[in-house]
Structure 1
């Protein structure tokens, strides 16, 4: 039974068994001896430790997992032996390519060394293999064209990590994170890099020639053995190639999905943010036309609160869609943390519950309907002729047409806001009485029967009767405090039998009623002299039909 040791590697704690620890310790000591006295020795060792910690982290699936010799050996294969950095692997043409083992895919970082603001454009340039100038031009087009670049840049600035260590900078450019590359990257930053490079080049050349001669001689003796191994592994390589092609296609599809999710998430978030700001600014400065929202807001919910709740309920899911797209594209994306995730989830649930409460309250404002009826006797008797027409009005009903829409906002001569609509229904019926009369039924809705009745009573509707002519208003009005409560007015004209009715052509839209209203005046009979009888109407001036 091996002893387990807790170690701190680059600020990260790991559990490692004693044998693996001794091998790792010897490996790091050998590396330290290799770079003893070299410029940037401390930075090289720190970056190597950081890279080893990163590789360990990728292989640890849970907090209690113990790192063994297998994991340490795998890390050494990737990083290379301390003496390997002076060997040119390209000479071993027949041997397995060790570079393939150490090659790493590009990771997205912010390149602050070549940045103007936050290094986002430079990092994207490295990731997609483009010059940073083209990425910056795209940002300019987004900012001055669609106006979405600023928010998107800020989001990427927050979520994409900065390339701080040498290992990060190598990953950003897709270079293998090995001892030799870490050493080379750090040495490039020193002023005496040319002298150091010359010495390393001479050493590499001599060593490479020696190794090349040795390999050449060895190749002559093992040529047949290698050929046999190549034939033996040909089928394996074929299936590996097929697997690599399938993996490449899968990665392409995944990247495409990631880009699509980023576009959908970002565009939705930007649109919601613009909408939130527009609604609240419009509410604050009282831009004309915005009163419609206030009149439709029967629940009296503050506009800023309702718009914020809508933004949170829709925006938070689309933020996670955007974040998921980034996670697909950027394997090393910084996590927003569990606190932020659960906080956003809590806000989302609160927003949904609040909107549900507001919706229920809004629906309850239409739970009851009530009506008030006014009746007036008209000086019309049997054999009299009655003319009916809608009053001309270019303010509230220019088209002279009935509409069941909720209503609109207008201002009176004293600049008082009112609601008006064209929901006026005209009905003609016969009465056994000897005189005619008119009923005006006003209807409205509310959260209680009393409120609905008050709103119905507050409807203003005018008409007049003079010289046997009934003049009806084609609209109704009410105070804006009564909200859009499905206000309507039904005007019913009761005429004695033998009375003659002449309806103007402009009444057509207002008496277009379903059959259950029992309206005697049919559409198309306007302008004709119609005699009211017990069983219906008789057209006195219609053309005779066969």
Structure 2
């Protein structure tokens, strides 16, 4: 059993076992000895410790993980040993210089180069990242800003979003150079050399006046203001994302456990699922899939909001991220497959026909057509799929009912009234659809001179809702009088030819005669209103199912139409009038 030690490395707390701690301590002490007396040694050592802390954090899966000797060896291998480098090379100018081959150059990271900046260091940072001279990049931004305005927006966004290369490690990252002892030492010494050169040539009085007047440039101040506003806006977005994510997850959890799994709440959606489902998937399975499909994205919305608000929020780890992503993709894929299978249930239509001859006691009487109640009017539920819902028969058995009943008329070829009942349903194949259509229950009866048609069809729940409907075709002899009672309103089908061009419900309550050409002739419809003198003079506008017809007289070539609160006024102009 190894003893563990808590250490603070670059302001970060680590748990490290005793053997690894002793090796790391000796390594850092040897580095301090190597750089003893070197200009900038404190900064070099601080940057080295910061880089070691970064490498440890990359290797840790959680904050409680203990650093072992193996991980210390891996970090030392990346950073290199102090003896691999020549610290004071100028002392031994006659000796051959030792060389050290650093690891292969790493991928560059985008930072703002504040050492070479004109405004925010964006273009200087892009020079390192893209490999183009900063002058050309600045020209591109200027041209885009002048001609499109996009250059200014892009520059400000990059200024806000791209971090500046402040530390030695970040500057090496910006150039794609390995962050090891050699490169850290070189960068720090370069910085000291630059400072020394500037000190030799500086005008102390001017520098003093400049420091007194302003410690920041104008663009630095603008940048600070923009960054402050962006942070405030970012915090607001973070709070909003947390509220949306948390509220959605709570709602989904409640729906999953109360409706999907426990079915403790009578929710209409469950009944709807029972009506339409033919996949065989239980409601709890579909509920679980829907939960994962929506809850996982909302979880990441919540996590993103927390990341915006909490700077030091620990990552959930790549394993958790990819596991959730895989679970989400599986849920979406299964739901898509179930949806395709469900859609296939409506791909084909099957029909069956039931024909009958209606023998009236007195053939000369007017044939009356009405809808009769089926008992489902008051024994039904409010869950609907199209025109289909649940109902209860006389034995209190739950069935599917629908009022999707259509009545059309045609001329009979003989002197008898005939009826054809066509039952339609959908299915994955024509055979399945026809079998489902056979299961539709529908009744009618001849009562004296009245044909009473059921107001509802019904079928067993096991047949599911597949757009079941009934179309009733009445074949009526020529010269036979027909009347549609008020109860048929909403059930009369389209396409019944009549001399008044009435559409569907317009046929109700009038007496109609079946003509020789199969067209119904109205016997008691109101006459068309006579044209008034003003209409005769000014022409007329006819609006019907064929569209709008503007009828002008022969001596008229234009008209004026006014529409206001008083109605519509049409005034025609003669050809001879201006």
Name the counterpart of 1:268.
248
Q: Deviations over 1:466-518 (max 9, x none)?
A: 21110111111000000011100001111000111011022121115257999
Name the counterpart of 1:283.
263
- How many pairs are equivalent? 362
Name the counterpart of 1:152.
none
C-alpha separation between the residues in 1 aligned to 2:397 and 2:379? 21
Q: Which runs of 5+ in 2 are unaligned?
A: 1-6, 36-45, 59-74, 83-202, 531-578
C-alpha separation between the residues in 2 aligned to 1:257 and 1:326? 10
Q: Which runs of 5+ in 1 are unaligned?
A: 1-6, 28-49, 70-224
Task: Say whether 1:525 aligns with 2:539.
Answer: no
Q: Deviations over 1:428-450 (max 9, x none)?
A: 11122221100110011112222
Name the counterpart of 2:3.
none
Name the counterpart of 2:209.
231
Name the counterpart of 2:524.
541
Please state whether the residue corresponding to 1:455 is helix, strand or coil.
Answer: helix
The 3 A distance-change label for structure 1 pair 279 and 378 is same
Q: Is the 8 A contact 1:382 1:498 kept in 2?
A: no
How much has 1:277 moved relative to structure 2?
Answer: 1.6
The 3 A distance-change label for structure 1 pair 385 and 442 is same
Q: Deviations over 1:324-377 (max 9, x none)?
A: 111111121121111111111111111111111111111111122101100000
Q: Is the 8 A contact 2:261 2:284 kept in 1?
A: no
C-alpha separation between the residues in 2 aligned to 1:66 and 1:319? 38
Higher relative contact order (CA 8 A, sep 6+): 1
How much has 1:302 moved relative to structure 2?
Answer: 0.7
One of 429, 432, 453 as aligned partner of 2:413? 432
Please state whether the residue corresponding to 1:511 is helix, strand or coil.
Answer: coil
How much has 1:53 moved relative to structure 2?
Answer: 6.5
Name the counterpart of 1:258.
238
Please state whether the residue corresponding to 1:261 is helix, strand or coil.
Answer: helix
The 3 A distance-change label for structure 1 pair 304 and 404 is closer
Name the counterpart of 1:454.
435
The 3 A distance-change label for structure 1 pair 501 and 406 is closer
The 3 A distance-change label for structure 1 pair 289 and 18 is closer
How much has 1:245 moved relative to structure 2?
Answer: 2.0
For structure 1, which segment, 483-492 or 445-454, has the greater mean C-alpha deviation from structure 2 after superposition? 445-454
How much has 1:60 moved relative to structure 2?
Answer: 8.9
One of 318, 323, 334 as aligned partner of 1:338? 318
The 3 A distance-change label for structure 1 pair 24 and 242 is farther
The 3 A distance-change label for structure 1 pair 345 and 289 is closer
One of 53, 59, 81 as aligned partner of 1:57? 53
Matches within 5 A, 1:156-167: none
C-alpha separation between the residues in 2 aligned to 1:539 and 1:523? 14
C-alpha separation between the residues in 2 aligned to 1:11 and 1:346? 33
Name the counterpart of 1:480.
461
Q: Is the 8 A contact 1:16 1:67 kept in 2?
A: no
The 3 A distance-change label for structure 1 pair 288 and 469 is same
C-alpha separation between the residues in 2 aligned to 1:17 and 1:398? 84
Name the counterpart of 2:351.
371
Q: Deviations over 1:5-43 (max 9, x none)?
A: xx995347899999975465899xxxxxxxxxxxxxxxx
Please state whether the residue corresponding to 1:336 is helix, strand or coil.
Answer: coil
Q: Is the 8 A contact 2:376 2:393 kept in 1?
A: no
Please state whether the residue corresponding to 1:439 is helix, strand or coil.
Answer: strand
Please state whether the residue corresponding to 2:401 is helix, strand or coil.
Answer: strand
C-alpha separation between the residues in 1 aligned to 2:464 and 2:290? 22
Q: Is the 8 A contact 1:17 1:67 kept in 2?
A: no
Task: Say whether 1:295 aligns with 2:291.
Answer: no
C-alpha separation between the residues in 2 aligned to 1:287 and 1:314? 19
Q: Is the 8 A contact 2:369 2:450 kept in 1?
A: yes
TM-score by length of 1: 0.58
The 3 A distance-change label for structure 1 pair 344 and 478 is same
Name the counterpart of 2:90.
none
Q: Is the 8 A contact 1:20 1:68 kept in 2?
A: no
C-alpha separation between the residues in 1 aligned to 2:454 and 2:24? 90
For structure 1, which segment, 326-335 or 278-287, has the greater mean C-alpha deviation from structure 2 after superposition? 278-287
How much has 1:396 moved relative to structure 2?
Answer: 3.0
Task: Say whether 1:315 aligns with 2:295.
Answer: yes
The 3 A distance-change label for structure 1 pair 24 and 442 is farther
Please state whether the residue corresponding to 1:486 is helix, strand or coil.
Answer: coil
Matches within 5 A, 1:14-25: 21-22=29-30
How much has 1:418 moved relative to structure 2?
Answer: 0.4
Please state whether the residue corresponding to 1:376 is helix, strand or coil.
Answer: strand
Please state whether the residue corresponding to 1:57 is helix, strand or coil.
Answer: helix
Please state whether the residue corresponding to 1:279 is helix, strand or coil.
Answer: helix
TM-score by length of 2: 0.55
Task: Say whether 1:325 aligns with 2:305.
Answer: yes
C-alpha separation between the residues in 1 aligned to 2:269 and 2:385? 20
C-alpha separation between the residues in 2 aligned to 1:468 and 1:541? 20
The 3 A distance-change label for structure 1 pair 368 and 517 is farther
How much has 1:384 moved relative to structure 2?
Answer: 4.0
One of 386, 390, 401 as aligned partner of 1:405? 386
CA RMSD, 1 decimal:
4.1
